[in-house]
Amino acid sequence: MNFRIFVAVLIIGVATAGVFAMNAAEPPAALPVTAPFLTNDENNNIAVFKQAGPSVVFVTNTRLRRQRFSLNVMEIPTGSGTGFVWHESGLILTNFHVIYKANKITITLQSGKSYQATVVGSAPEKDLTLLKIDAPDEQLIPIPLGDSAALSVGRKVLAIGNPFALDTSLSVGVVSALGREIKSISNRTIKDVIQTDAAINPGNSGGPLLNSMGQLVGVNTAIYSPSGASAGIGFAIPVNTVKLIIPQLIKHGRLYRPVLGVETLTDYWAKRFKVKGIAIMSVKDGLAADIAGMVGMSEDRLGNLHLGDVIIAVNGEPVTTEDSLLSLLEQFEPGEEVKVTTMKNESIHNYQVILTAPE
């Protein structure tokens, strides 16, 4: 080998060995912590949580219970859940089942301050309750309302709540299905429910379901799981349903549904008569059905019972159960006219009925 080439190779080898020795002695520099890399989706999750987090509250339900061997009355914690600020006047929205049978309801804000709440109105059939607290306006930040009709399967949603009494947790998922039906605590059917795989565990009930813009699209209400823990199937009441109910709770304290003014046949007699539809047992004098000319059951001289009108449709929508009839009536206001279709004496009858305000 040429002497000059040999010397050059030797020098390069020594230099390289020095570099290796230096690297072995000094650990590699850490990535700069002041500029972490976040995906657009992560940035969005953080932004939504920061914006909506201050609006989410902790709801505590307590009952009064007398001690067994004395007359002393104690407050017993019986449950907790989530709620959120609906209006800066102090209105808080949560699930009805969160405050069910409560003697005292306490709302804890993100500031850590607690306030005793009063019930403005409840709709057990929709699992919603509107509460009110007396807190400073600056601590009450409402969540902007979205449009649940604009949702589609696959869209990202975020749930914020207090699962297992853990303070303000975020879970992220997608809309798994739309138009689901679940049963409320009053055994009424809640329609058009949003199904999501965002983790909704005990304690999340009453919390907000948000879209990627931080807008309210639903109220988390239930999970479907034998163990009671999240199994990838959670449900939320759509915000468009909530928008219709809140004014009624504020004005009337309950769901304000127009009535036909009829008493319907019990399940026992409905099965006995093999009724397909809703059989009218009696009609209340002076109310909508009576004015329209509808009739209930009658009894002949021998004591035999005979069916009167059996409701089978309202405005062309089929009626099969009392639940379906009530759900249809909820779409109208007192004073509106609807077409009620009945079966009577084996023939179809149509009545134009002006709905009556509830008593």
SS3 for 157-211 is: EEEEECHHHCCCEEEEEEEEEEEEEEECCCCCEEEEEEEECCCCCCCCCCCEEEC
Helix then strand count (H, E) for the chain reads 7, 20
Rounded CA separation 67/74 (Å): 7
Sole residue written with tokens 């060995």 = 17
| Rg (the chain; Cα; Å) | 31
The tokens describing 330, both together, are 């909820």
Catalytic residue status for 97: yes
Residue ranges matching CATH 2.40.10.10 in the chain? 51-139, 148-252
pLDDT digits (tens, 9 = 90+) for 308-323: 999 999 999 999 888 8
Of the ranges 70-84, 164-178, 190-204, 330-344, which one carries the lowest mean pLDDT score?
Answer: 70-84
Q: Tokens in use for 322?
A: 């009392």
CA distances (Å), origin 213, targets 56, 206, 210, 306? 16, 20, 8, 59
Q: How are the residues of the chain apportioned to helix, strand and coil, as percentages rounded to the nearest 5?
A: 25, 35, 40
Q: What is the pLDDT of residues 42-67, one digit of tens each?
A: 999 999 999 999 999 999 887 645 44
Choosing from 97, 148, 171, 327, the catalytic residue is 97
CATH 2.40.10.10, domain 148-252, yes or no: yes
CATH 2.30.42.10: which residues of the chain? 262-354
CATH of range 262-354; options 3.40.50.410, 2.30.42.10, 3.40.50.300, 2.40.30.110: 2.30.42.10
Which pair of tokens denotes residue 307? 């069916």
CATH of domain 51-139: 2.40.10.10
Of 55, 80, 122, 127, the active-site residue reads 127
Nearest of 315, 81, 33, 320 to residue 201 by alpha carbon: 81
Q: Between residues 259 and 14, which one has the greater pLDDT? A: 259
Residue 27, judged by CB atoms within 10 A of its CB (0-12, 13-18, 19+), counts as exposed
Residue 171 and residue 158: Cα distance in Å, rounded?
6
The per-residue pLDDT for range 128-151, each reduced to its tens digit, is: 999 999 999 889 999 999 999 999
pTM higher than 0.75 for the full model? Answer: no
User: 122, 205, 230, 327: which is the annotated catalytic residue?
Assistant: 205
pLDDT for 74 = 44
Q: Report the phi/psi class of residue 316: left, alpha or beta, with left for phi > 0 and alpha for psi in -120 to 50.
A: left
